[in-house]
A and B are shown apart, each in its own frame.
Chain A
């Protein structure tokens, strides 16, 4: 009994930490979006764009994303194994170390300590610390799954285990570096090899941080929320294995037209196209699950979060492979189209699904209901509008940019200077900041709703006559 309560506190600790780092990451995102059109907003050296951008990406990918993954994975694993964590104290230590690492990561990035590898910017002492907490996490997850009281492992557990294994391999290989001081190192790989390893890692960080864990949440929380069973078990199996097989071949689609050998690029493009199939396996499974009773969209406020989330996952996994094609890549690569693409996935799919999962978990931990469904609905519409405005704006200006870089005069010379192309971004960059504000307001409503729900749960527990289901 007591053990269960303890575990819930760790789950909630991770969720609140994730929310905290999420707010920090979003605020920094707004600041760097302003810096792109107002260079005077750069306060050198600590608060200049170059140093802040990795704080934004790391803060949201690792602070919000991985923080939520830790918390919700512990929650899911305990339920699917019908037992508390085998090492609850280890999980608590994991929580404290996680926050210490993210805080240290933010400060070190602001100080300019960076490996210059996207999504692997952190210098080697932090990499070591991250490997340590990942091992702590893995030990707890595996021990709990091995000693489970439910014979069959449900789909979500497959994604949990695959995430734990794949992230470990990816992170260790790409962060291999030769230290040249406490906060400085050089990549173990050089030149094209360095590029190839980095994007093998970089794209699979998307695969195993923004895809498999979020699918674990989707497969668990969608049926829980709606009371509808997953449509097809067979489709889950086929999608799972083909997804985790194909993902690892695709990293080099980030290096199309680069000096990387062509055969690696082509192989990556082919597997990227194939990846549509397993991705849409999950999309179809999600649609048909809710398809058993579409009225859930009306009667259960969380259903629309999951349906919209999986919709953006579906769009993302069609747009991504399209971008990998050489003919498309040459137009949109290096332009603002790419942040438009990324933010559809992160704001539309990842954050939407994480928020919905948290809305499900927090009231259950406290034996209460969500504080306000109305606020949750406003939150939904604001983040949806904010994200669409962000992505569509960036797609338009990205295509324009790519086209202006290419236009040639009749005599074969270029028609536009680089600055001609840059200044045309300004109105779109202004709009993007506006979109970010709309999204941020939605997320602040989410935070408020979660905190009020916790407060409500505590008040319920404190009042003596209550039957106190919260203790369960």
Chain B
């Protein structure tokens, strides 16, 4: 028998087929029948037509070639991105888009981290937001209108693969797509990512009474200026004056959309916990505002240094303001 097989091509091929099928069945086919391969998190909801159209764009442009969508259960990854990925988050993903290369950052927890306007600007011109980024520009997406009938077909096909009742779009939802661009869709999909998992930083409360251990020392202000430039200026501007719809002005007397400043502890809580700290502070902020949680990404001392710089800058502006008012009032004098 042993030697015979090398003279009988059909038997040989059958034996080869059986040999390759053993491992295939145990590791690929058999798991399909196990519940652990089909979990769904309770909070996970199917894509809206707009989000699905955005996912189609994500697939078309090959975003998966540079961005992963799985946070590994490693301390450094949870610190950088947020809670590690769960099987039940990918119930609607056909195919999965975990990727295999992280030329750009992981996006599994990108949803809700930043406002839509930030993404619009970043997709159009990544280098305008992050100067040394190597991401290509996707400005053309803003010119491309969505095709509602195509979106409906895609949506219906995907919906037919899940149990009834999970995909709930109406005709009006599809009709509304004619007003939207591919960029709107891609942003909507970006914001969908990770929605089913509670963000980690939300757990800690905000301690308003915390005092800045660095105070207003010149060293702290200088260090804060550097940290601010590298991490915060992207949204809040080089001098902290903010950008319409993206990030608020840090130099005025409004804090999270309400008149009246708050103590250093509030600043620390907001920088550490990101938008999730807004609830604890009881103020709304920008409507779709997404302050990044820097807790874990920046050292605590660096965060305090940034606060030292912001305070120094605010004081500086207050000194300038009366002077500026004076000069403004001098020539006209109408006030």
> What residues make up the interface of A, taking CB atoms closer than 8 Å to B?
35-39, 42, 44-45, 48-51, 53-54, 112-118, 142, 145-146, 151-153, 157-158, 161-162, 164-166, 169, 173, 178-181, 184, 186-198, 200, 241, 244-252, 254-255, 257-261, 264, 267-268, 271, 330, 333-335, 338-339, 405-409, 411-415, 417-419, 422-423
Contacts and interface: CB of A to CB of B under 8 A. Distances in A.
Given A405-B76, A418-B80, A195 B98 contact: yes
Contacts of A250: 23
Contacts of B140: 44-45
Given A44-B138, A246-B23, A412-B296, A194 B9 contact: no
Contacts of B135: 39
Contacts of A145: 9
Nearest to B70: A258
Interface stretch (B87-95, B167-175, B200-208): B87-95
A157 B6 CA distance: 9
Nearest to A192: B87
Contact of B92 (A116, A190, A413): A190
Contact of B16 (A162, A189, A423): A162
Nearest to B65: A53
B297 interface: yes
Interface string B133-171: 111111110000000001001100110110000000000
Contacts of B42: none
Given A162-B16, A195-B98, A248 B22 contact: yes
Interface stretch (B53-61, B237-245, B305-313, B317-325): B53-61
B95 A115 contact: yes
B327 interface: no
Given A191-B91, A198-B96, A244 B19 contact: yes
B80 A259 contact: no
A413 B93 contact: no
B335 interface: no
B198 interface: no
Contacts of B230: 417
A184 B100 CA distance: 22
Interface string B102-141: 1111000000000000000000001100101111111110
A197 B80 contact: no
Interface string B1-42: 000001101101100110111111011100110101111000
A162 B15 CA distance: 9
Given A158-B12, A248-B23, A261-B87, 4 more contacts: A115-B95, A146-B10, A161-B16, A173-B24
23 contacts: A39-B135, A39-B137, A54-B65, A162-B16, A181-B150, A190-B38, A190-B92, A191-B91, A196-B27, A197-B28, A200-B27, A251-B27, A251-B28, A330-B72, A333-B72, A334-B99, A405-B80, A408-B79, A414-B76, A418-B80, A422-B132, A422-B133, A422-B134
A118 B100 contact: yes
A250 B23 CA distance: 8
A196 B28 contact: yes
B89 to A, nearest CB: 7
A45 B61 CA distance: 8
A258 B73 CA distance: 8
Contact of B101 (A115, A334, A423): A334
B162 to A, nearest CB: 8
A195 B300 contact: no
A50 B66 contact: yes
A50 B32 contact: no
B333 interface: no
A181 B68 CA distance: 27
A258 B80 contact: no
A342 B100 CA distance: 12
B214 interface: no
A241 B16 CA distance: 8
Nearest to A423: B132
B94 to A, nearest CB: 4
Given A161-B9, A259-B85, A418 B105 contact: yes
A50 to B, nearest CB: 3
B298 interface: yes
A432 B76 CA distance: 28
B209 interface: no
A257 B74 contact: yes
A169 B20 CA distance: 9
Contacts of A417: 230-231, 297
B94 A184 contact: no
A194 B94 contact: yes
Interface residues of B, number: 92
Most buried by B among A166, A179, A193, A333: A193
A239 to B, nearest CB: 13
A145 B10 CA distance: 9
B145 to A, nearest CB: 15
Contact of A334 (B36, B102, B133): B102
Contact of B20 (A48, A146, A165, A335): A165
Contact of B127 (A39, A50, A193): A39
Contacts of B133: 39, 419, 422
Contact of B6 (A115, A152, A164, A197): A152
A54 to B, nearest CB: 6
A247 B133 CA distance: 38
A184 B136 contact: no
A46 B6 CA distance: 49
B23 A245 contact: yes
Given A180-B153, A413-B79, A417-B231, A271 B299 contact: no
Which 5 pairs of residues, A with B, have the shortest CB-CB distance?
A: A50-B62, A191-B90, A248-B23, A42-B136, A112-B60
A260 B19 CA distance: 24
A145 B7 CA distance: 10
Contacts of B105: 418
A158 B92 CA distance: 41
A261 B64 contact: no
B31 A264 contact: yes
Contacts of A255: 98
B97 interface: yes
Nearest to A35: B136
Contact of B136 (A49, A166, A194, A271): A49
A189 B298 contact: no
Given A112-B61, A411-B299, A419-B133, A248 B24 contact: yes
Contacts of A418: 80, 104-105
A143 B12 CA distance: 14
Given A257-B72, A268-B27, A116 B59 contact: yes
A413 B20 contact: no
B63 interface: yes
A53 B67 CA distance: 13
Contact of A116 (B26, B85, B97): B97
B86 interface: yes
Contact of B61 (A50, A194, A246, A409): A50
Contacts of A423: 132
Contacts of A162: 16, 20
A301 to B, nearest CB: 33
